Chains A and B, each alone.
Chain A
Amino acid sequence: MEEDEFFGEKTFQHFCAEFIKHSQQINDGWEWRTSKDCSEGYMCKTQFQIKPGTLVSHPGTSAHVQTCLPVEEALELPPDDFEVTETTAGSQVVKYEYHVLYSCSYQVPVLYFRASFLDGRPLALKDIWEGIHECYKSRLLQEPWDTITQQEHPVLGQPFFVLHPCKTNEFMTPVLENSRKINRSVNYITSWLSVVGPVVGLNLPLSYARTASQDE
């Protein structure tokens, strides 16, 4: 499939369909939803995460604990020591919802997300903040309201947090141009989501990378 300069809604839907195909193969949980009254559609996924109540590590991240250790000791410590050691101290299950919609005004996909506790209480942005990867925090701290805003979901009409799409073209263009040069088609949605997802706690399994680009 040729890369379009113009990323229209049809192209958006096509890439979402391809993305969901792979999601189904690996049980990654993405679904397509359409609005009842118009032809708009979007992708969505719900995932559950454990939000630690106290200073304990998530499985797989040892950042919090490591900040307390002198450098020499940190080198010797095997990572397994920093798996979740305490699950009882106020840790809670948080439900995250991620929605991928098409923005007509920016002509790019947009990531909407929200989080709530199991009893339905929504998380405030500052709580969601903790789920954001350390490497993005310093940047987002500088101008959080420029990059994450709260908006009404175009289809559901409920408040969601949105990762602002105005810079999407900046990081997508080099990837697309590069793929054109080497005659490979790129799934825009897969590429895009792999970049923006981790910013808000959404990590795509590596197997998507194989479907992200195909030789033509």
Chain B
Amino acid sequence: MAEESESALQLPPSTAAEGEGPTEVSPETGTPEPPSSAAVSPGTEEPAGDTKKKIDVLLKAVGDTPIMKTKKWAVERTRTIQGLIDFIKKFLKLVASEQLFIYVNQSFAPSPDQEVGTLYECFGSDGKLVLHYCKSQAWG
């Protein structure tokens, strides 16, 4: 499978990702994770040690799900799966009735509160974490 060797883009902070697109019922702080301060300023890398270091995440589409033009993202460790799901949904402009699932090992959906950093520690290789995403109307 050919990988794009573009430089990883910074995932926008979860708070900035809200406020546009389809309105969800939950308020803008619907994402349960506390955004780390490193997430606030995309582009400024904080050399403050490994805890602030971002994870390279490679997003791959499954099934009929649209493929993201940008597949490689730098994501802060504390970003949760739910935060990532919200981001991809907005990026792909999915409608509210469409559900998005993220899988590790192409088969297992981590809980929404699971952090990218933890997933990287368990399933990362070659310096990145590969996540597959799939859209569905499961509960639409």
Contact = CB atoms under 8 A, between A and B. Distances in A.
Interface stretch (B3-11, B42-50, B66-74, B97-105): B97-105
Interface string A181-209: 01010110011001101100001101011
Interface in B21-47: 24-27, 29-30, 32-37, 40
A137 interface: yes
A173 B107 CA distance: 11
Interface residues of B, number: 48
A128 B59 CA distance: 33
Contacts of B103: 175, 191
| A-side interface size class | 35 or more
A119 interface: no
A208 B26 contact: no
Contacts of B132: 178
A66 B25 contact: no
Contacts of A74: 15, 29, 34-35
B108 A179 contact: no
Main secondary structure of the interface of B (DSSP, over half): loop
Given A61-B32, A62-B34, A170-B137, A139 B99 contact: yes
Nearest to A211: B108
Contacts of A167: 136-140
B32 A63 contact: yes
A171 B27 contact: no
Given A178-B132, A206-B122, A133 B107 contact: no
A127 interface: no
A174 B34 contact: no
A19 to B, nearest CB: 12
B32 A174 contact: no
Contacts of A67: 27, 29
B35 A138 contact: no
Given A61-B113, A76-B37, A178-B63, A135 B108 contact: no
A126 interface: no
Contact of B108 (A61, A69, A194): A194
B25 A138 contact: yes
A179 to B, nearest CB: 6
Nearest to A190: B108
B113 A60 contact: yes
Contacts of B140: 139, 167
Interface in B80-102: 82, 85-86, 96, 99, 101
Nearest to A164: B139
Contacts of A184: 106-107
A184 B108 CA distance: 13
Contact of A75 (B40, B64, B65): B40
Contacts of B137: 167, 170
Interface in B93-137: 96, 99, 101, 103-114, 118-119, 122-123, 132, 134, 136-137
- 4 nearest CB pairs, A to B: A174-B63, A138-B25, A209-B108, A213-B107
10 contacts: A76-B37, A135-B30, A139-B96, A174-B136, A175-B107, A175-B134, A178-B132, A191-B107, A194-B109, A206-B118
